[in-house]
Amino acid sequence: MARTSAVEYERVAEACSSLFLEGKSPSFESVYELIGRKGGAKVVQGMIADWRKEMANRFMAGRTNPDLPEALITEADKVLSVVWRLALEKSDAAYADERSRLDQARIDMAAAVTQAQERAAEFEREALSLQGERQALQARLQANQAEIEDLRQRLSDTTTLLRARDEQIGQMREDGARLANTLESERRNHEVELLAERDRHEQAVNAERQRAHESVEREREIAAGERQYLMRQTDEIRQAAKANEAVLKEQLHEAKAFAESFQARAGRAESEAAFWRGKAEAAAEESSRWQRASEEAAGKIDGLQGRIRILEHELAQRAPEESPTEKPAN
């Protein structure tokens, strides 16, 4: 599809005719200036060339007009030839100048394009570098965002944990307060029970001390009675043993004397001697038995004395319990 020009041919032809009537060559620069520098350079140059062809055709059409005299046509041809030659010379000179100027403009434009391309390449390299930096920054940004999200999650978890611990601490404080109240109540109850128990203990100790004292007294009385009885029995046993010993000694002496007196009658008195020896041995055994009984009585007396000492020791150990028990501190 053809692109519509920004300038019309009539505008270019008008500019060319105006310059031609002023005696100026309708060069590209002068025409382009008159039309307000609109349209492309090739388009305007083509329109200028079309105007020149149109003018040439008009001159040729006038020359062939049959109504004009031949002499006038000849003179007109001379004038037109001179005018057309001058116009062509000026047009060629202007065209050459314009061509030179356009060539220089093209060279300048090419240099500018080259410079622009170099700048564009430089900008492209900078853009690639900046793109790499941007990608690196985006990667760092994504890493930082991931780290920030992780830190946010950790902060959220820590906040939740701290909130849970605060609740636990609050619950523990409440439990501690309730426990302190319970312990205080139990301490008071225990103190009351301890005081009651101390009173009961003091009463029990006093009763036990009284019973122990009475028991010790009874044991002392019994021990004293048993001691006196055993001492009497021992004395009696000793007296009886001494008496029996004396009797036995006397009997033994008589037996010996009798045996000596009847020694001559040994055969006949042997049985009697044996009888008296048996009695002597029995008496000796009886004396030993009474001796053992005396020793057993003495042992019983020692046992009773040891028992009395044990009871006195127990009584002495219970004596410190008679002192009042100290009350526990509030």
pLDDT-derived band at 16 (thresholds 50, 70, 90) equals: very high
pLDDT for position 12: 93
Segment of 32-41, 71-80, 101-110, 241-250 carrying the highest mean pLDDT: 32-41
Residue 35 has pLDDT above 90, yes or no: yes
Residue 327 has pLDDT above 80, yes or no: no
pLDDT for position 17: 92
pLDDT for position 81: 60
d(CA 156, CA 151): 8
Asked if residue 60 belongs to a domain, the reply is yes
Residue 53 has pLDDT above 80, yes or no: yes
Q: How many domains does the chain have?
A: 2
d(CA 320, CA 325): 10
In this predicted structure, which of 57-66, 148-157, 259-268, 313-322 has the lowest mean pLDDT? 57-66
d(CA 77, CA 150): 99
Domain boundary among 69, 86, 116: 116
DSSP, res 36? T
Asked if residue 87 belongs to a domain, the reply is yes
pLDDT for position 9: 92
Q: Which domain holds residue 88?
A: 9-116
Query: What's the token pair of residue 255?
Result: 């037996």
Domain boundary among 66, 81, 116: 116
pLDDT for position 106: 66
Domain boundary among 116, 140, 172: 116
Do the Cβ atoms of 102 and 40 come closer than 8 Å? Answer: no
Asked if residue 194 belongs to a domain, the reply is no
Q: What is the pLDDT of residues 187-233, one digit of tens each?
A: 888 788 878 888 887 888 788 778 867 876 887 788 778 778 878 87
B/e letters for 211-237, b = 16+ CB within 10 Å, e = fewer, are ebeeebeebeeebeebbeebeebbeeb
Cα end-to-end distance, the chain, whole Å: 114
Q: Rounded to two decimals, what is the model's pTM?
A: 0.26
**Residue percentage of the chain with pLDDT more than 70:** 75
Asked if residue 162 belongs to a domain, the reply is no
Query: Which ranges of the chain would DSSP assign to H, the alpha helix?
Result: 9-21, 28-34, 41-63, 70-261, 266-318
Do the Cβ atoms of 60 and 22 come closer than 8 Å? Answer: no
pLDDT for position 2: 43
Asked if residue 192 belongs to a domain, the reply is no
What is the Cα 59 distance to its own chain's centre?
107
pLDDT for position 153: 92
DSSP, res 321? G
Asked if residue 122 belongs to a domain, the reply is no
Between 167 and 280, where is the model more confident? 167
Asked if residue 31 belongs to a domain, the reply is yes
Asked if residue 126 belongs to a domain, the reply is no
